[in-house]
Amino acid sequence: MQITLQTKLCEQFGIQYPLFLAGMAGGPSTPELTASVSEAGGLGTLGAAYMEPEDIRAAVRRIRELTAAPFGVNLFVYQAGDDHTRMQEVQSELNKMRQQLGIPASAGNDVRSANWFEKQFEVLIEEKVPVISTAFGILPAAYMQTVKAAGLKVIAMVTTVREAMLAEESGYDAIVAQGSEAGGHRGTFTIDDHPMGANIGTMALIPQIADRVSIPVIAAGGIMDGRGLAAALILGAQGAQLGTRFLTAVEAGTNQSYRKALLASDEESTVLTKAFSGRPARGIKNAFIQQWEESGIAPLAFPTQNTVTRDIRNAASKQQNSEYLSLWAGQGTRMLTEDQTAKQIVEDIMHQAQAILQ
């Protein structure tokens, strides 16, 4: 079997290399990082889930100033609404952390999470963003029709064969198959069946999905170099999506203390936790996770837990205190590099994959 780096996926998305930058909401994603990956021949993606609609518009326009190449924007699709069931218990535990950071305590029962999806989606359509990618759910039919009518491409992140088949049936153009090694949130949307996410390893997940859907599969989770990309293609994927590998890129918005924690971490450092957001996610274990786990308190449902912990994460970010930040990371962090641009990272990965596949 001849494995090539110029997969059908490249043709379909108008890109040179089958290398996708994960949208990484909450700081690491920048227009510069997105544009650099696209300019280098991959597909850059802006993680826009937590951005206000007009900020997304400005970021999309900035990306277009930096590159004429295709790029994507990633949003979360989920059931909106807040969980006020155990607010007091949760806030009193979080107040201990606030005290440690020297920020005001909160009794907050009036928590209201922003729900921008409708407007965010509208902006993507109005700005004709070439690729829309989604996590945590699949687009309802009416939205899918709008995407198709606008002639845009759409990619879903999935974590099981069942989710992959649902995405294909809904009209998605491609699938990101996210293995359990992946950094950040689990994309699982059959979450009632998997409260901590479906955690199937990349090696087992990719061929099983590739055998059962006819749309292209993009492998994600623990892929850090050309070896990982080549392996993904051999397993039946037509491309790879990398998040963690780009967190230490020069153009990433990753906070300095987060960068330090990443570079000091290894394959034993990360855990799956719901402590920060109420949804399972992989990140480097720190004091926040430790304290929360020791409390024995169940987190509120997403997005409420994310909203109530935001002031803590923001203060920790300002104070460069990595103990109270969400340090999302995958399991491949020994392969991270310092001071490389996204272009250099893409080139290194592609050279290595080319050498292997020749």
The site for ligand FMN (CB under 6 A) is made up of 22-25, 28, 47, 49, 74, 135, 157, 178, 181-185, 220-223, 241-245, 247, 328-330, 332
Determine how β-strand 239-242 pairs with β-strand 217-220.
parallel
8 A C-beta contact, residue 181 and residue 330: yes
Q: Starting from the edge strand earliest in sequence, which strands make up the sheet with 270-273, in order?
A: 184-185, 281-284, 270-273
CB of 244 to ligand FMN, least distance (A): 3
CB of 92 to ligand FMN, least distance (A): 29
Rg (CA), the chain: 19
Can you tell me the distance from the alpha carbon of 279 to that of 185, in angstroms, rounded to the nearest whole number? 7
Between residues 100 and 113, which has the closer beta carbon with respect to ligand FMN?
113
- State the amino acid at position 290 in one-letter form: Q
Between residues 183 and 303, which has the closer beta carbon with respect to ligand FMN?
183
Between residues 38 and 178, which has the closer beta carbon with respect to ligand FMN?
178
C-alpha dihedral sign at 333, 135, 211, 239? negative
Between residues 272 and 297, which has the closer beta carbon with respect to ligand FMN?
272
> SS in 3 state form for 254-317?
CCHHHHHHHHCCCCCCEEEECCCCCCCEEEECCHHHHHHHHHCCCCCCCCHHHHHHHHHHHHHH
Between residues 184 and 299, which has the closer beta carbon with respect to ligand FMN?
184
Q: Tokens for 16, please give them.
A: 């040179």
Can you tell me the distance from the alpha carbon of 262 to that of 247, in angstroms, rounded to the nearest whole number? 8
CB of 33 to ligand FMN, least distance (A): 11
Between residues 20 and 90, which has the closer beta carbon with respect to ligand FMN?
20
CB of 326 to ligand FMN, least distance (A): 8
Can you tell me the distance from the alpha carbon of 356 to that of 69, in angstroms, rounded to the nearest whole number? 27
- State the amino acid at position 209 in one-letter form: I
User: Count of CB atoms within 10 A of residue 266's CB?
Assistant: 11
Between residues 216 and 222, which has the closer beta carbon with respect to ligand FMN?
222
CB of 177 to ligand FMN, least distance (A): 9
Between residues 28 and 299, which has the closer beta carbon with respect to ligand FMN?
28
CB of 114 to ligand FMN, least distance (A): 15
CB of 222 to ligand FMN, least distance (A): 5
CB of 132 to ligand FMN, least distance (A): 11
